[in-house]
Structure 1
Amino acid sequence: MNRKLSLIEGTMYAGGRTPVNVVSAVKIKGNIELQCLQEALGKVQARHPLLRVNVIEDDSNIPHFITQEPLGKVEVRIATRYTDKDWQKEAARECLKPFDAQHELLIRVVWLAADDVSELIFVCHHCICDGRSVLNIIDETLRLLAEPLLDIGSYTSFGSVQEFIPEKMRNSKLNQFKTALVSVIAKLALSLVAFKKEIKRNRPYLLYWKLDIEQSARILAKCKAEEVSVNAAISVAFESAFKSTGSSKFHDKMYCAVDMRKFIPQVAANMIFAYPSMIDLSLKKCKSNDFWSQARFIKEDLQEKINKMDVSGVLMYSESLMPSLAKMTKYARAEKGVHDFTLSNMGRVDIEERYGNMEVDAVYPHATIFPFGNPSTLFTTSFKGQIDFIFTSDEVFLAYDEAVLLKNEAMRLLIESAG
């Protein structure tokens, strides 16, 4: 492979010196052998082209994915597991540990090992994948541990995001003029803010909690009865918490991550891909103070904005910004953001409860500690009937104690509203 990173991939690459990692962990009951784990990871690596690449910048400082030669093995670091909370410390550590993208593969694994239970922590650079991609990798690894001779197939990665843009749109003289104009405007705008200094993000944190089965069941049932998504209910709970706690960071605006795979038929659900779209949501225009009315408002607003998305246009215009990637990355490091938090909700994860003799006891939400903009991000998953949460941020943007207050208030609102 030798292809230029897309704009979103290049943004997540962040110049190659800063950790922008996606970290996901599973708790497993059953025996794991190192050789079997390495063999399984080798087959997963053989399936996904982006697990075999480095990132090399050309003479114009544009990063490219280049297949590593000779190809290395996925690194597995083994650590002793002492308590049920050890994975949180290791996950936070891995969020902050950068990849050497020019020389290392963009995936590694930490195995917290004990006699009867283990955690496998999968770490990928965000420039090659999103949270769903890592869950795919986890599922494939566990299936291969259970069935070493299983054929998981392979695929050829796309050569450029241009392949996702209809030829008629690409060749339109008007569109070519518009993209050139966007590029010029972006260069001018970035030149005007070039004086802004990078915000030092040196006190990041990770906050994890889980609702019990009864609480989770009540919330899921109430969302179904009210005909709203869990995503919308969580959004309202946290936006309301920001407002009611008098948070100094309250903007009455959040972002919701949307999986772009559904708009790009060339990318299958089980392929590694890193192109989420962020949709802004707010309760400003909602005329009701009722929790479930607000949840319906958020659900409808999100769906309306998804329906209006012009993915081909977004891809076309974003590619015209690649020459400004370095300046955009610098600006993002200096920007505080004008939103409260970003929500990344995976919902019920596609991980089985058993793989051969192994039982999956828990699937923890993925986590990322972003080095640009407002890093406050809420990650959620549901597994075995329980809803899990991870909130990441930095003391420079949101104090840890304030994050705890927000979490407690949001959970109170969510649980009480479920009855």
Structure 2
Amino acid sequence: MNDLLTLFKRKLNTQAPTSPDNRPTIARPLGKMEYSAWIFDQASPFNIGAAVDIHGNVTEDTLAQVLRWCQIRYPMLRSILRQEHQKLYFACYEPAEAPVIPIEMCSSTEENRDRIATEELRRPFDGYHELMIRVKLVRFSEDYCSVFVTFQHLIGDGFSHANLLVDIVNLLGTVSSGDSLPSPEPLPFPPMLEDGMASRFKGIKGLLQLVSCQSKVMGQLNQLGDMPAPLRNDADVPFAERRPIVETFTFNAAETASLIAYAKQEQVTLYALLIAITMDVIHPLLAESPKQKDTTERVITMPMPINLRPFLSIPKNDFGLFSSTVDVVRKLTDKKNIPEMAKDIRREIKSAMKKDSPRLFVMPTVAAIMDWKLFFPKGSKGVDRAARFIVSMAKYSSTSLTFLNLTRMSTKTGNFTVTNARGYVAPSILGTALFSAVLFKDLLNIHLSYNEKQFSGEDAALLKHRFKTTALAVAQGSNTMAQSKP
């Protein structure tokens, strides 16, 4: 897959540091998706995280034993980066020689949970000299703690994270019961997932870049919460309809450097800047509501990613992403009462904005809309289920569908009880679902074919042209969104 983010591929002016340790063996070059994650990391830490709340006395030694087991089994957890001949490679340690996964210990209160997660997401990884994963054990009381796991996005995705959490919880339960851990069988280094979006629908084995398929994993995940599972391979959805066709836009080194410089000037992440451009481009084509906004002088006004407010705002404090989401829902459902549902989402968004928290509620809504057929079968009840589900995600998930079914759980493992799990995503990754879709060759058809409505090919061509034109205008220092036609 010509991954959408490879459009920002460039040669950096600075050489990557060379690791003084020759022990790790080069495994393979970075794939396009992985390289893209590394590029975005140059502008802002491109991390994802998760936390699980555990009732019971989790000791540092026990956690270290469990993490070592995971590290022996999963090669990405013992890998660093190497640069040779202007190419980036994964270099993997042998299990016995790998540095241990760092564990930080601290005490705090539950009210600080999201602040801690935010701090962990903002801390960068030096992938050349250290592992790209870290763990923090935060004690709320003697027998109640939260385990935070953070890693650089290029070594795994959200599904990897969710399954790693399941492994950690199960292994902690085994140790707490006085049983010995089974001998971990080291897995081979994972291959490149060039066709990443397509592979997400080829079965669970294609999903996991970090963690291998275990027959019981998805069953465990689906049982942990009362929400629907993140992915459903409905029989009425042919594979061809679920596989996006991607068109790549390539910016040269100078253009990419200008985009990064502009993002830093505006105090936004590169990803946030590009999402803002994306929303500016796509909104006029999707919005047909009475609240459609004049976009002739749209500007990027995103000076506050540090407190994780929504990554796109426009004059008068209207949220472009929110408006576009509601417009798409209206189109997909033909229902006029969507604004009532949208009010709930807006209230949740405003609530999230009031604190320094990574718990934004916008992207799950967008993701649910875009994966419409994966979540809901055909039929008259599908629309009502969708409306309830979208509101539920807005209230209970933490920026990502990946962790939706780990939320509000209660499960027993050994002498421990797990009462909650959350997925966290860095502000530089917010908007993955929408930005991943904007370069689909048939983007608008993908959106609206679910309701048998399709934009014309001319509209799709206009969308692509507007994205390229607008991004280049921003790269050249203009803060006015381009509105020209091809």
TM-score normalised by the chain length of structure 1: 0.53
Identical pairs, percent:
19
Contact between 2:49 and 2:424, CA under 8 Å: does it hold in 1? yes
Q: CA deviation at 1:300?
A: 7.5
Report the equivalent of 1:132.
159
- 8 Å contact 1:283–1:294 — kept in the other structure? no
Which residue does 1:290 correspond to in 2?
Answer: 337
Question: Counterparts of 2:119 and 2:340 in 1: how far apart (Å)?
Answer: 40
Give the Cα separation in 2 of the matches to 1:136 and 1:343.
18
Q: Equivalent of 1:204, from 286, 306, 322?
A: 306
Match of residue 158 from structure 1: 190
Q: Partner residue of 2:275?
A: none
Which protein has the bigger helix share?
2
CA distance in structure 2 between the partners assigned to 1:205 and 1:366 by the alignment: 17
Distance 2:27 2:424 in 1: 29
Secondary structure at 2:423 match in 1 = coil
Question: 1:9 — aligned with what?
Answer: 34
In 1, are the aligned partners of 2:406 and 2:420 still within 8 Å (CA)? Answer: no
Q: 1: distance between equivalents of 2:369 and 2:263?
A: 37
**Range that drifts further, 66-75 or 24-33:** 66-75
Structure 1 residue 186 corresponds to structure 2 residue 250: yes
Measured in 1, the distance between the counterparts of 2:104 and 2:82 equals 25
Residue 372 of structure 1: how far off its partner (Å): 6.9
Once residues 53 and 424 of structure 2 are traced to their aligned partners in structure 1, the CA distance between those partners, rounded to angstroms, is 16
Deviation at 1:370, TM superposition (A): 3.0
Distance change >3 Å, CA 156–CA 85, structure 1 → 2: same
Q: How does 1:374-385 map to 2 (within 5 A)?
A: none
User: 2-side partners of 1:250 and 1:162: how far apart?
Assistant: 31
Q: CA deviation at 1:249?
A: 3.0
Q: Distance in 2 between matches of 1:42 and 1:157?
A: 17
CA–CA distance in 1 between the matches of 2:130 and 2:65? 19
Query: How many Å separate the matches in 2 of 1:353 and 1:281?
Result: 37
C-alpha displacement at 1:246, in angstroms?
6.8
State the secondary structure of the residue aligned to 1:347. Answer: helix
Per-residue CA distance 1:158-178 (angstroms, 9 max, x = gap): 333469999xxxxxxxxxxxx
Q: 1:253 aligns with which of 306, 310, 324?
A: 324
Query: Does the aligned pair in 2 maintain the 1:49–1:157 contact within 8 Å?
Result: yes
SS in 2 for 1:146: helix
| 390, 415, 419: which one aligns with 1:361 | 419
Residue 330 of structure 1 corresponds to none
Question: For residues 283 and 96 of structure 1, do their structure 2 counterparts lie closer, same or farther at Cα, with a shift above 3 Å needed?
Answer: same
Show the counterpart of 1:80: 107
**Mapped pair 1:349 → 2:406:** yes
- Pair 204,15 (structure 1): closer, same or farther in 2 beyond 3 Å: closer
Q: Please show how residues 259-298 of structure 1 align to structure 2 within 5 Å.
A: 283-284=330-331, 287-291=334-338
Query: What is the alpha-carbon distance in structure 2 between the residues aligned to residue 22 and residue 146 of structure 1?
Result: 25
The residue that corresponds to 1:302 in the other structure is 371
* 1:85-234 superposed matches below 5 A: 85-113=111-139, 114-148=141-175, 149-151=180-182, 153-161=185-193, 186-187=250-251, 195-196=258-259, 197-199=262-264, 200-201=267-268, 203-205=305-307
| CA deviation after TM superposition for structure 1 residue 360, in Å | 0.9
Letter in 1 for 2:76: L
Shift of 1:49: 1.0
How far apart in 2 are the matches of 1:357 and 1:154? 27
Whether the aligned pair in 2 keeps the contact of 1:282 and 1:298 (CA below 8 Å) is no
Separation in 1, partners of 2:114, 2:168: 21
Give, in whole Å, the separation in 1 of the partners of 2:113 and 2:428. Answer: 22
**Counterpart residue type for residue 186 of structure 1:** T
Judged with a 3 Å threshold, the aligned counterparts in structure 2 of structure 1 residues 162 and 134 are, in CA distance, closer, same or farther, namely: closer
1:37 aligns with 2:63: yes
Q: Comparing both structures, which one devotes a greater share of its residues to strand?
A: 1
**Structure 1 residues 94 and 291: alpha-carbon distance in aligned structure 2, compared to 1, 3 A threshold:** same
| Structure 1: distance between partners of 2:185 and 2:341 | 45
State the 1:56 CA deviation. 2.0
Structure 2 residue identity aligned to 1:6: G
Instruction: Give yes or no for contact 2:31–2:194 (8 Å, CA) kept in 1.
Output: no
Measured after TM superposition, the shift of residue 142 of structure 1 is 2.0
- Per-residue CA deviation, residues 116-172 of structure 1 (Å, 9 max, x unaligned), is 211111111111122222222222122222224233544213333469999xxxxxx
| Residues in 2 aligned to 1:65 and 1:122: alpha-carbon distance in whole angstroms | 21
1:8 counterpart letter in structure 2: M
Counterpart AA for 2:250: A
Q: What one-letter code is carried by the residue in structure 1 that aligns with 2:416?
A: M
Please tell me the residue identity of whatever aligns with 2:82: I
Partners in 2 of 1:84 and 1:160 — Cα distance?
39
C-alpha separation in 2, matches of 1:134 and 1:297:
21
Instruction: Check whether the contact 1:286–1:297 (CA below 8 A) recurs between aligned residues.
Output: no
Counterpart amino acid of 2:335?
S
Question: Superposition RMSD on alpha carbons, in Å?
Answer: 4.3
* Count of paired positions: 266
**Is the CA contact (8 Å cut-off) linking 2:56 and 2:143 kept in structure 1?**
yes
Letter in 1 for 2:169: L
User: C-alpha distance in 1, partners of 2:192/2:433?
Assistant: 31
CA shift digits 1:66-113 (9 cap, x unpaired): 1147410010000013x2112222111101101111011111110112
Deviation at 1:304, TM superposition (A): 5.2
Paired residue secondary structure (1:147) = helix
Where does structure 1 lack aligned partners over 5 or more consecutive residues?
167-181, 208-237, 256-279, 308-341, 378-419
Structure 1 position 370 matched with structure 2 position 434:
no
